[in-house]
A and B are shown apart, each in its own frame.
Chain A
């Protein structure tokens, strides 16, 4: 599985957009980019995933560069409840290979 690189920590002011970068320069053509977050003492929560097009849902937007070697997760209006560890994960799309390989993630702190 491709490896991902994320900054260990970031701060963002409440109400502003939080932009979390992820580098996945060794990503293969059949691998998706997934984002999960883990709020303290809870299980990880799925946020969004994409293959090569930008994606948006009610939680966030995912911007993937044209060469697919990096991506950015955008939380458009960060709130205090968005304080969490955010994991960027690359995973093959084939059925039967569904394990998630977590790194150490980015600890995002929302500042009031």
Chain B
């Protein structure tokens, strides 16, 4: 059983560009969350998708947007990239069983903005 997968692994973009990161949740999971982790810091919650809608959102600007597809996979889009957007972007999925509340994380996408 494949766990949470993310693509690409690494990405280099220029300031002002746009980027799309992708996540496939663990089998049987229907909820996807995205986190940003700057170097030396803990992950920071960006938003969460459930039933193809954004359910919760952290303190991130509108430049950060997302989407969830009917197969539960998800995309994170960042527009007008800033140098400060350089970070590890983590995707986490949650199982459909509401009594476990465990989140399973993928390996992340390392984004470098130059």
Contact = CB atoms under 8 A, between A and B. Distances in A.
B43 A99 contact: no
Interface in A77-106: 85, 87, 91, 93, 95-105
Contacts of B105: 43-45
Contacts of A98: 31, 33, 48, 56, 94, 101, 103
22 contacts: A32-B101, A42-B108, A44-B43, A44-B90, A45-B105, A85-B42, A91-B101, A93-B101, A96-B50, A96-B55, A97-B56, A98-B31, A98-B33, A98-B48, A98-B56, A98-B103, A99-B33, A100-B35, A101-B45, A102-B43, A102-B44, A104-B40
Nearest to B40: A104
The majority secondary structure among interface residues of chain A is loop
A85 B41 CA distance: 10
Interface of B: 4, 31, 33, 35, 40-45, 48, 50, 55-56, 58, 90, 92, 94, 98, 101-108
B112 to A, nearest CB: 15
A95 B42 contact: no
